[in-house]
Structure 1
Amino acid sequence: MLLLIPGPVTTRPEVRQAMTQDHAPWDNAFRPLYASVRERVLAIAGGVPGTHASLALQGCGHFATEAAVRTFVPPGGRILIPATGSYADRMARLAREAGRVVVPLTVAQTEPVSPAVVAAALAADPTISHVGLVYSETSSGVIHDAIAIGEAVRAAGRRLILDAVSAFGALPLDISAQPEMDVAVFTTNKCLEGLPGLSFAVARVDSLTGAVGNAGSWSFDLADIYAHALRSGWGSFRFTPPAQVLAAFQTALDFFDVEGGQAARLARYTANARTLYDGMLSLGLEPCLARDVQGPIVMNVHAPSDPAWSLQAFVDALKEAGFVISNFYNTEYPSFRVGCIGAVTPGDMQRFISAVDQVLVRLGIKNRSASRQAA
């Protein structure tokens, strides 16, 4: 069974096998494992030891995003969040419920955020301290230019929080070249092809030391995680971690390195997305995004405009054929979404395309043209 969703992703058998050994997270034999993973993650992010720190947090990407907002945006502080889609909306909700003031920035959800628009919004409101950006917006598939937007943030003298949850490990990131970036957050179970249960933040040390007391939460305090590491060592968690997940992640990082790192992973995912895009067109289906803005992480495809169409029936039939896709969508119009990430190849995508064709015939879908009826 292949998971063609944007996380958790299909993993290699060796990664899953690494979960079969029990670990005691307080044991001295476990500590070097965690310390090593931290070092490897820091290097992938382009972090500099002493200037940046890699911090793990139990839970999904939303946990790390909430921790980042709570830690770096002071209580009552104002954060500009471009409304790129559902995951930007979630960051905004996390910020509001943490007592931060969200300044929304309306943008077209089928296009990358304009750095000039961000710059203008910051110039219009000098009370904004941070920008929260979703690097890869899963709901649409659009990739946003974190470097160019970071330059606009830096020029305005503000700070950047980057949600790299579905981007890290595939899309370029060099946090050392972006001093305006307080933190980038991500998870083990997306482009790094590990298992779910653990999220990470790579953050500036000076930002962490200046954020003590901001979080208002012991669990979601990256500054406290950093302080704990200084006290107890880089192999120590504050609270019980998903130890087996961390062990599997170490194995996933081994495969990441063998494949050739970020550039090689991006190349494979890009090939997956290209194969999928062309395949959908060949079947008479229409991707939701223009090719020039379609990212390599996830693709949304317009649902057929046929009365026999049922997303759940389509999903169920594909599952019988060996493929799992999402049974929901976040686009304005009915669609289905397919992840291009994980331990899958263009050959797997070709098999999926054939399965889609067969399933549409089986379901009696005669009109495959795009549905334009708003959800």
Structure 2
Amino acid sequence: MRRNILLNPGPATTSDTVKFAQIVPDICPREKEFGSIMEFVSRELTELVGSNEKYTTILFGGSGTAAVEAILSSVVDNKIILIINNGAYGKRMCEIAEIYNLNYIEFKSSQIETINLKELEEVIKKNNEESKINNCGAISHLAVVHHETTTGILNDIELLGEICKKYSIEMIVDAMSSFAGIPIDMYKMNIKYLASSSNKCIQGMAGISFVVADKKALNNTQNIKPRNLYLNIYKQYSYFKDNYQMRFTPPVQILYALKQAIIEAKGETIEKRYKRYKECCEILWDGLDKLNLNRLIDKNISSMLLTSVIEPQIKNYKFDRLHDYLYSRGFTIYPGKISSENTFRIANIGDIYQDDMRRFVKILEEYFTGII
């Protein structure tokens, strides 16, 4: 099988063992045997970020956005949610909140600098004072993207968790592109709800999204009137707890692949996986420096899982040509997603290793040498 190296921010490159795990006898997802697969997946995903005593993982068929939408539509009642927008995926949470007519405050932050926590706290204080004066709802939830793949910035969710704890706010984290790639401790970081998917750093196939939830917080949502059918977290959780089944048909083969991906992640450990990712990033950065290609954000705030590269001012350069040149040689990169600069993005998540990145850098050098 041809091995393509995906340097886009997901779906990520997978191992052959994960791919082949999908080749299983047909099975009805209502059988106990398959229920045990889903139970394994749910419990093991939870263990990567917390204990099964305190937290639980709710599985959905769908892309990562399904998990984010499930949280926002299921857990925010009639109070206010504060959404940090410092990239395309923070903006997407605001769009979801708008569609569901949630009471939300959008905290706009720079896409290339750290979140101003002092300003954020001032917004919370001001809202709390106004809620007391006007006898209206206070901020009950805060939502933030951990790794914003718009630029590769890594938001400090531990510091945000401390602010949330100070003001009795439940924190929602979109960890789509950091779960199983960067160590996360939900208890230590004060995260009540975390969203991710099967096709990023966990290195499975696309098709499963999931929510890791604090059980106590989750149980407090059971009387919130459902805003939709498919994505209601508490109903999905309750049904699975009683039956070890999803309420609706799951993507069966993808779950077998996810089970294998979890086994491989545990074998490697998240700490060693993050080390591997960072070593690949360092190889990439060294190569970019030699080609005089500038990075968009400072290395001190980078996730080291994705790099936004400022497009060079070279006469014969066009992104599409660069993409096609790399694609024909087994590497896929992504265009930029920020309006203030022309960029392209290179991710280094998935089943890729140092030699893969060295080969990529060499081909990148060949391309730019050829057009200058």
**Alignment of structure 1 residues 254-269 onto 2, 5 Å:** 254-259=263-268, 261-269=269-277
Aligned to 2:202: 192
Measured at CA, do residues 313 and 215 of structure 1 come closer, stay the same or move farther in structure 2, by a change above 3 Å?
farther
Give the CA RMSD over aligned residues: 1.4
Decide whether the 8 Å contact of 1:82 with 1:105 is kept in 2: yes
Q: Shift in Å at residue 328 of structure 1?
A: 4.5
Q: SS of 1:199's equivalent?
A: strand
Q: Distance in 1 between matches of 2:334 and 2:21?
A: 27
The answer to whether the aligner puts 1:299 opposite 2:310 as a matched pair is: no
Aligned to 2:30: 26
Decide whether the 8 Å contact of 1:197 with 1:245 is kept in 2: yes
Equivalent position amino acid for 2:45 in 1: V
Aligned to 1:83: 85
Q: Which stretches of structure 1, 4 residues or longer, exceed 4 Å deviation after superposition?
A: none
Decide whether the 8 Å contact of 2:48 with 2:180 is kept in 1: yes
Gaps of 5+ in 2: 129-137
Equivalent position amino acid for 1:19 in 2: Q
TM-score normalised by the chain length of structure 2: 0.93
Q: Shift in Å at residue 20 of structure 1?
A: 1.4
Equivalent position amino acid for 1:85 in 2: G
Aligned to 1:128: 139
Q: Shift in Å at residue 178 of structure 1?
A: 4.2
Q: Distance in 2 between matches of 1:114 and 1:147?
A: 14
Equivalent position amino acid for 1:359 in 2: Y
Q: SS of 1:94's equivalent?
A: helix
Q: Shift in Å at residue 77 of structure 1?
A: 3.5
Decide whether the 8 Å contact of 1:47 with 1:202 is kept in 2: no
Q: Matched residue pairs, number?
A: 358
The answer to whether the aligner puts 1:38 opposite 2:47 as a matched pair is: no
Find 1:105's aligned residue among 107, 120, 124: 107
Gaps of 5+ in 1: 367-375
Q: Distance in 2 between matches of 1:263 and 1:71?
A: 32
Decide whether the 8 Å contact of 2:157 with 2:189 is kept in 1: no
**Alignment of structure 1 residues 322-333 onto 2, 5 Å:** 322-330=330-338, 332-333=340-341
Listed one character per residue, the Cα deviations across residues 213-255 of structure 1 (whole Å, up to 9, x for unaligned) are 34411111101111112332xx311110011001001111111
Listed one character per residue, the Cα deviations across residues 21-68 of structure 1 (whole Å, up to 9, x for unaligned) are 13321112111111011111110011342x221100110110000000
Equivalent position amino acid for 2:48 in 1: I
Measured at CA, do residues 215 and 296 of structure 1 come closer, stay the same or move farther in structure 2, by a change above 3 Å?
farther
The percentage of counterpart residues that share the same residue type is 25
Aligned to 2:281: 273
Q: Distance in 2 between matches of 1:229 and 1:317?
A: 47
The answer to whether the aligner puts 1:207 opposite 2:217 as a matched pair is: yes
TM-score normalised by the chain length of structure 1: 0.92
Measured at CA, do residues 120 and 172 of structure 1 come closer, stay the same or move farther in structure 2, by a change above 3 Å?
farther
Decide whether the 8 Å contact of 1:64 with 1:185 is kept in 2: yes
Aligned to 2:133: none
The answer to whether the aligner puts 1:174 opposite 2:185 as a matched pair is: yes
Q: Distance in 2 between matches of 1:122 and 1:319?
A: 47
Q: Distance in 1 between matches of 2:321 and 2:226?
A: 44
Q: SS of 2:261's equivalent?
A: helix
Q: Shift in Å at residue 96 of structure 1?
A: 1.1
Listed one character per residue, the Cα deviations across residues 182-237 of structure 1 (whole Å, up to 9, x for unaligned) are 200101110110000001111012222221234411111101111112332xx311
**Alignment of structure 1 residues 56-67 onto 2, 5 Å:** 56-67=59-70
Decide whether the 8 Å contact of 2:202 with 2:265 is kept in 1: yes
Q: Distance in 2 between matches of 1:115 and 1:45?
A: 24
The answer to whether the aligner puts 1:251 opposite 2:253 as a matched pair is: no
Q: SS of 2:239's equivalent?
A: helix
Aligned to 1:154: 165
Decide whether the 8 Å contact of 1:116 with 1:152 is kept in 2: no
Q: Distance in 2 between matches of 1:172 and 1:119?
A: 26
